[in-house]
């Protein structure tokens, strides 16, 4: 694979796509270094400990409503925020899993300000509250919006037959925009599994509760024992409420991903 020029990262934080405000992004996954050396050894011995995950970023600050500063300012110290980062663009559905990472986090630091005469910068530091997961995009509606009714995503072959007993199924759901009328009716999503890409029959594996505003949801991980090994295909189904109170022209934007490890 040729070298990658780092120009197309995307950063979704809960219900916001702040990609264009970032100039620097780092996804850090590490393990604690434990010293297991004992008497009689001439070489110090090390053992990997628990994992530690953080995401750091820098960029140009925006003080406008619903932009970086007003949103992140209120999120410092807030638990269970969903952050999904793509370091080389958002992969096409069912084509590539490379470069997507999802994690539930707490925001620890938001530092605005810098040197005189420069574009007003920010510095962001967030820490994981769970596993960092390779995110496989099931439905990307950041540009092409979801329509009223059920929106069936592309079937993706995410094999569960090779999952060990210690692995889990993960999912994330971002809503970055929705029509005003939907705020009273809601947008729901599920991740379903089937034995073939045609989805003649399927079983729901992850259910996201109805959302009535821009938001991000980290699904409760599903143990491998609750999954069927003969249903390797997964897809997202996003449903926009339809009723006499909700116009058929209402739409929503966002992204759904899945992963297992």
pLDDT tens track for 86-127 = 998 898 765 556 679 999 999 888 999 999 999 999 999 999
One domain for residues 243 and 158: yes
Residue 2 lies in a domain: no
CATH label of the domain that carries residue 21: 2.40.30
In a domain, 4, yes or no: no
* pLDDT on residue 34: 95
What's the mean per-residue pLDDT of the chain? 88
Least confident of 49-53, 118-122, 180-184, 244-248: 244-248
Q: What is the CATH number of the domain that holds 219?
A: 2.60.120
Predicted TM-score of the model (pTM) = 0.90
Residue 60 Cα distances to 25, 39, 57, angstroms: 12, 53, 10
Q: How many structural domains are present in the chain? A: 2
For residue 247, what pLDDT is reported? 63
Pair 158, 255 in one domain: yes
174, 74: one domain: no
Question: Containing H/E element for 33?
Answer: strand 22-35
Instruction: Confirm if 239 and 146 have CB atoms less than 8 A apart.
Output: no
User: 93 and 193 share a domain?
Assistant: no
- Amino acid 250: pLDDT: 85
Domain boundary at 110, 133, 156, which? 133
Return the pLDDT at 93. Answer: 63
Residue 5 in domain:
no
Residues 125, 142 within the same domain:
no
94 and 109 together in one domain: yes
Q: Select the more confidently predicted residue: 244 or 33.
A: 33
Residue 3, domain member (yes or no): no
Beta strands in 93-145 (DSSP E): 100-112, 121-128, 133-134, 136-140
Domain enclosing residue 56, as ranges: 10-133
104 shares its domain with 127? yes
Report d(CA 104, CA 126) in Å as an integer.
10
- Identify the band that residue 37 occupies on the pLDDT scale cut at 50, 70 and 90: very high
The answer to the question of residue 1 being in a domain is no
Task: State whether 75 and 160 are in the same domain.
Answer: no
Judge if 60 and 163 occupy the same domain.
no
On whether both 140 and 256 belong to a single domain, the answer is yes
Give CA angle at 134 (33, 93), nearest 5°.
Answer: 165
Instruction: Give the closest residue to 25 by CA, choosing from 43, 47, 14, 10.
Output: 10
How does residue 195 score in pLDDT terms, banded at 50, 70 and 90?
Answer: confident
- What average pLDDT score do residues 34-61 get? 93
Helix (H, G, I), strand (E, B) or coil at 20: helix
The answer to whether residue 102 sits within a structural domain is yes
Same domain, 140 and 249: yes
**Residue 164 banded pLDDT, cuts 50, 70, 90:** low
Helix (H, G, I), strand (E, B) or coil at 68: helix
Indicate whether 90 and 151 sit together in one domain: no
């Amino acid at each position: 694979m040729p070298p990658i020029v780092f120009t197309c990262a995307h950063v979704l934080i809960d219900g916001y796509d702040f990609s264009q405000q970032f100039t620097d992004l780092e996804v850090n996954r590490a393990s604690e270094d434990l010293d297991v050396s004992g008497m009689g050894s001439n070489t110090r011995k090390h053992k990997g400990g628990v994992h530690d995950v953080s995401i750091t970023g820098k960029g140009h600050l925006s003080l406008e409503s619903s932009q970086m500063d007003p949103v992140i300012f209120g999120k410092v110290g807030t638990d269970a925020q969903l952050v999904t980062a793509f370091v080389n663009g958002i992969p096409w559905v069912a084509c590539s899993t490379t470069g997507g990472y999802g994690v539930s986090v707490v925001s620890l630091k938001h530092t605005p300000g810098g040197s005189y005469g420069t574009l007003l910068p920010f510095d962001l530091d967030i820490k994981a509250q769970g596993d960092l997961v390779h995110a496989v995009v099931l439905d990307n509606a950041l540009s092409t919006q979801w329509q009223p009714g059920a929106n069936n995503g592309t079937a993706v072959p995410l094999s569960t037959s090779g999952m060990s007993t210690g692995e889990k199924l993960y999912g994330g759901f971002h809503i970055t925009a929705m029509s005003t009328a939907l705020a009273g009716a809601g947008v729901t999503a599920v991740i379903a599994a089937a034995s073939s890409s045609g989805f003649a029959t399927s079983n729901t594996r992850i259910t996201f509760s109805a959302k009535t505003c821009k938001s991000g949801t980290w699904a409760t991980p599903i143990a491998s024992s609750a999954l069927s090994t003969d249903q390797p295909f997964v897809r997202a189904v996003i449903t926009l409420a339809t009723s006499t109170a909700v116009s058929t022209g209402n739409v929503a934007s966002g992204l759904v991903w899945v992963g297992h490890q």
